[in-house]
């Protein structure tokens, strides 16, 4: 694969994007936001950037700021904005995150950089036909939800493109299971890793087998988490401690853009 150039101004662009995104309520940490921006700017593939699950726009703004700077086209932001988990739908059945989302992308100056789909991801993926460079999955965290997002859009991911799941190292059944079963165990994927709770991997349908050893090592430690989160229930006591111990054995770290790019073509030696 040709060497990927990291844009010289990327650190400054990520600083600026995070400055806008950090003010927005949400669950994305700074090192995760920087990874998203890095992937958007450096992924060596063309196509759309697709986000399932936007909530109030934290990751949308991060991605849109980077995309605007480098002319990467709009962020496709898909969310019905009616989450009963995140919104108080009991006291207000009409509760929505849509107004805050619109206000936040407007305030960040990226409203014209976002293609909004006020819909469930499967309603969009069913008729989706455009190639994708970066698939960012942060919607329904059940197994069925994460699997539907993955299956619905992955067939459109361009070779060398990247898929990433949020909350793969938090107590949710979907992201970690789909990442282990459909990504780490597939020879269609290459380099892979975790940054905070984000799991990411590059789609390498032609030579992903070269990364089999690396994916298998990651998969062995990550797979141990699946039984703990399978029923989606909160963990308590000893079970919680055992989950945390197993999670501490999954390698993860923040990555600087230059290091992330170098990971893409560095399979583990056998
Ligand atoms: C964890 S939040 C997303 C956080 C957001 N990415 C951020 O950076 O703040 C999950 C969102 O997924 C949305 N969601 C739930 N099911 C969905 C689905 N099937 N398709 C698209 N979005 C969905 C919810 O409405 C909610 O706003």
Residue 137 forms part of a structural domain: yes
pLDDT at residue 269 in the model: 54
Ligand 1 centre to CA of 139 (Å) is 4
Cα(202)–Cα(189) distance, rounded to whole angstroms?
Answer: 6
DSSP string of 158-194, one letter each residue: EEEEEEEETTTTSS-HHHHHHIIIIIIT-TTEEEEEE
Residue burial 3-19, b: 16+ Cβ < 10 Å; e: rest: ebebeeebbebbeebbe
Per-residue pLDDT of the chain (270 residues; tens, 9 = 90+): 567 889 999 999 999 999 999 999 999 999 999 999 999 999 999 999 999 999 999 999 999 999 999 999 999 999 999 988 888 777 777 889 999 999 999 999 999 999 999 999 999 999 999 999 999 999 999 999 999 999 999 999 999 999 999 999 999 999 999 999 999 999 999 999 999 999 999 999 999 999 999 999 999 999 999 999 999 999 999 999 999 999 999 999 889 999 999 999 887 654
Which residue out of 18, 79, 128 has the highest number of ligand 1 atoms within 8 Å of its CB and is therefore the one to mutate?
Answer: 79
Give the position, in ligand 1's atom list, of the atom nearest the Cα of 120: 20
Ligand 1 centre to CA of 135 (Å) is 14
In angstroms and rounded to an integer, the radius of gyration of the C-alpha atoms of the chain is 18
Torsion angle, alpha carbons of 154, 158, 159, 163, to 10: -50
Ligand 1 centre to CA of 55 (Å) is 5
Contact predicate 88/104, CB 8 Å: no
Query: 58-70 vs 98-107: helix axis angle to the nearest 10?
Result: 30
pLDDT at residue 92 in the model: 76
Residue 153 forms part of a structural domain: yes
Residue 3 forms part of a structural domain: no
Ligand 1 centre to CA of 80 (Å) is 8
pLDDT at residue 270 in the model: 45
Residue 165 forms part of a structural domain: yes
Give the position, in ligand 1's atom list, of the atom nearest the Cα of 145: 19
For residue 159, give its domain range.
10-263
CA-closest residue to ligand 1 atom 9 = 26
Q: What CATH number has the domain bearing residue 130?
A: 3.40.50.150
Cα(151)–Cα(135) distance, rounded to whole angstroms?
Answer: 11
Residue 83 forms part of a structural domain: yes
Using DSSP, state whether 50 is helix, strand or coil: strand
Q: What's the pTM value of the predicted model, to 2 decimals?
A: 0.97
Using DSSP, state whether 4 is helix, strand or coil: coil
Instruction: Give me the number of domains the chain comprises.
Output: 1
Neighbour order of strands in the sheet with 157-165: 114-117, 75-78, 48-52, 132-137, 157-165, 198-203, 189-195
Cα(49)–Cα(185) distance, rounded to whole angstroms?
Answer: 24
Residue 233 forms part of a structural domain: yes
Give the position, in ligand 1's atom list, of the atom nearest the Cα of 62: 8
Residue 74 forms part of a structural domain: yes
Residue 269 forms part of a structural domain: no
CA quadruple 152, 157, 159, 164: dihedral sign = negative
CA 100 to chain centre: 21
């Amino acid at each position: 694969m040709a060497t990927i150039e990291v844009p010289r101004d990327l650190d400054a662009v990520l600083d600026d994007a995070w400055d806008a995104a950090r003010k927005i309520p949400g669950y994305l940490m700074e090192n995760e936001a920087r990874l998203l921006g890095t992937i958007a700017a450096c992924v060596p593939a063309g196509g759309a950037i697709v986000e399932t699950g936007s909530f109030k726009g934290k990751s949308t703004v991060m991605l849109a700021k980077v995309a605007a700077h480098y002319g990467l086209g709009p962020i496709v932001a898909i969310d019905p904005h009616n989450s009963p988990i995140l919104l108080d739908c009991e006291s207000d059945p009409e509760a929505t995150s849509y107004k805050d989302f619109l206000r936040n992308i407007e305030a960040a100056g990226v409203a014209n950089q976002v293609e909004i789909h006020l819909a469930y991801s499967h309603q969009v993926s069913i008729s989706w036909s455009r190639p994708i460079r970066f698939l960012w999955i942060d919607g329904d965290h059940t197994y069925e939800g994460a699997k539907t997002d993955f299956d619905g859009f992955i067939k459109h991911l361009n070779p060398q493109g990247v898929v990433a799941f949020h909350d793969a190292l938090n107590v949710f059944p979907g992201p970690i299971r789909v990442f282990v079963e459909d990504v780490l165990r597939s020879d269609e994927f290459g380099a892979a890793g975790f940054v905070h709770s984000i799991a990411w991997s590059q789609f390498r349908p032609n030579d992903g087998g070269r990364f089999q050893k690396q994916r298998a090592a990651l998969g062995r430690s990550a797979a141990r988490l699946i039984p703990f989160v399978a029923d989606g229930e909160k963990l308590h006591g000893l079970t919680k401690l055992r989950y945390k111990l197993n999670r501490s054995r999954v390698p993860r770290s923040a990555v600087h853009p230059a290091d992330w790019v170098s990971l893409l073509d560095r399979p583990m030696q056998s």
